[in-house]
């Protein structure tokens, strides 16, 4: 799930990593691979080929954004990175962000997401909480969903201004709470919004909107561009089956929202979906919008397509003209009533 221009780089990284670990485990010991994310050996060893670098929380001199790391649940070692814009002095919209990486890699603390959240927080003038959920396959789904739900509930538990985290108490406008994420993270965002719609009377979570960037969805039956690209489809299918080996399959509503009889209960009235023209997942994003309206959901969903671009291109080329335009679109979305 990478853009074309980065595939060559990933192949080189994958090859070098393969050479470096070849002496530790013979290729005949491989249990399975999910390219380009992980290789799992029969002895339980797991090698991640991308998304392993981490950077510390900091003050970003370019954007003026400050960040710090916080612990949400000591029992689960559930962490998050908190971002606040320069000169924050009043209540601001709260964005809860969930990173991508195929459920297997990446982190709220990676350079990619640290840079992205710094830029988005500065542009939109919001505060943001980026969730460090536990990764598969060590922690197979639905653990990731549960971690994200716990983090969401923890955040909104500060709505009365007497929670443990001072930045949430002082700066979060709980009348303007948003969820956002990319790829597998966008999948998680959708499922969190479903739980808000189904369980909000109990937990008191209110969402002003969600945005999904190149959302990871699939299904038993291929659609659109998936039909002619079986290699791409096999990768997408493999991700789900390895990340959630005990799921009900490819039509599990968690990965195929079209099959969810309760889709109309989505817990917000505004949805912004970004798709990329060259992305294998493009048609799933458009299909998702169509399914929302067919379900009887009464909100407003919009799709923004970046023609000629690849999967989550804005994270890989954040200074490209289309990525800058996308950042402006997101900032506007997060500041609408």
* Encoded tokens for 216: 């990871």
- Catalytic position from the list 182, 252, 279, 310: 279
DSSP conformation letters of 119-184: HHHHHHT-EEEEEEPPPTTTS-TTHHHHHHHHHHHHHHTTTTS-SS-HHHHHHEEEEEEEEEEETH
- Tell me the C-alpha distance between 194 and 103, whole Å: 19
Reply yes or no on whether 311 is catalytic: yes
- Tell me the C-alpha distance between 186 and 183, whole Å: 5
Nearest to 210 by CA among 306, 151, 289: 289
What is residue 260's three-state secondary structure?
Answer: coil
Phi, psi of 186 (to 5 degrees): -70, -35
- Catalytic position from the list 183, 208, 252, 276: 183
Reply yes or no on whether 247 is catalytic: no
Nearest to 130 by CA among 270, 316, 315, 273: 315
Reply yes or no on whether 29 is catalytic: no
Q: Taking a C-beta distance cutoff of 8 angstroms, is the pair 239, 34 a contact?
A: yes
* Encoded tokens for 308: 């000629």
Q: Kindly list the distances between the CA atom of residue 166 and the CA atoms of 117, 161, 163, in Å, as whole numbers in the listed order.
A: 20, 9, 7
Q: Taking a C-beta distance cutoff of 8 angstroms, is the pair 145, 191 a contact?
A: yes
Phi, psi of 174 (to 5 degrees): -80, 5
Q: Taking a C-beta distance cutoff of 8 angstroms, is the pair 313, 323 a contact?
A: yes
16-31 burial code (b ≥16 CB/10 A, e <16):
ebeeeeeeeeeeeeee
Active site residues: 183, 279, 311
């Amino acid at each position: 799930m990478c853009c074309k221009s980065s595939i060559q780089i990933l192949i080189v990284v994958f090859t070098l990593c393969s050479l470096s670990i070849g002496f530790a485990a013979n290729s005949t010991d491989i249990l399975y691979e999910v390219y380009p994310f992980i290789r799992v050996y029969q002895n339980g060893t797991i090698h991640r080929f991308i998304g392993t670098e981490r950077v510390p929380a900091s003050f970003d001199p370019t954007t003026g954004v400050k960040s710090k790391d916080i612990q949400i649940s000591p029992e689960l070692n559930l962490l998050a990175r908190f971002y606040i814009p320069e000169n924050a002095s009043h209540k601001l919209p709260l964005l809860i962000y969930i990173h991508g990486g195929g459920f297997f890699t990446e982190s709220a603390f990676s350079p990619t997401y640290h840079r992205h959240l710094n830029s988005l927080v500065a542009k939109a003038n919001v505060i943001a909480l980026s969730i460090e959920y536990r990764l598969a396959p060590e922690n197979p789904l639905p653990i990731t969903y549960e971690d994200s739900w716990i983090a969401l509930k923890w955040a909104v538990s500060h709505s009365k201004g007497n929670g443990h985290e001072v930045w949430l108490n002082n700066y979060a406008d709980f009348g303007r709470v948003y969820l956002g994420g990319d790829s597998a993270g966008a999948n998680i965002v959708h499922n969190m919004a479903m739980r808000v719609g189904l369980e909000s009377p109990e937990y008191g979570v209110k969402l002003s909107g969600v945005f999904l960037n190149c959302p990871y969805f699939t299904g038993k039956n291929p659609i659109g561009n998936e039909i002619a690209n079986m290699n791409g489809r096999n990768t997408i299918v493999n991700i789900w089956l390895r990340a959630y080996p005990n799921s009900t399959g490819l039509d599990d509503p968690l990965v195929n929202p079209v099959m969810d009889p309760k889709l109309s209960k989505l817990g917000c009235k505004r949805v912004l979906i970004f798709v990329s023209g060259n992305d294998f997942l493009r048609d799933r994003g458009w299909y998702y919008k169509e399914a929302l309206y067919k379900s009887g959901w009464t909100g407003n969903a919009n799709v923004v397509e970046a023609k000629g671009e690849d999967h989550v291109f804005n994270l890989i080329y954040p200074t490209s003209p289309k990525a800058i335009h996308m950042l402006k679109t997101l900032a506007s979305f997060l500041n609408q009533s």
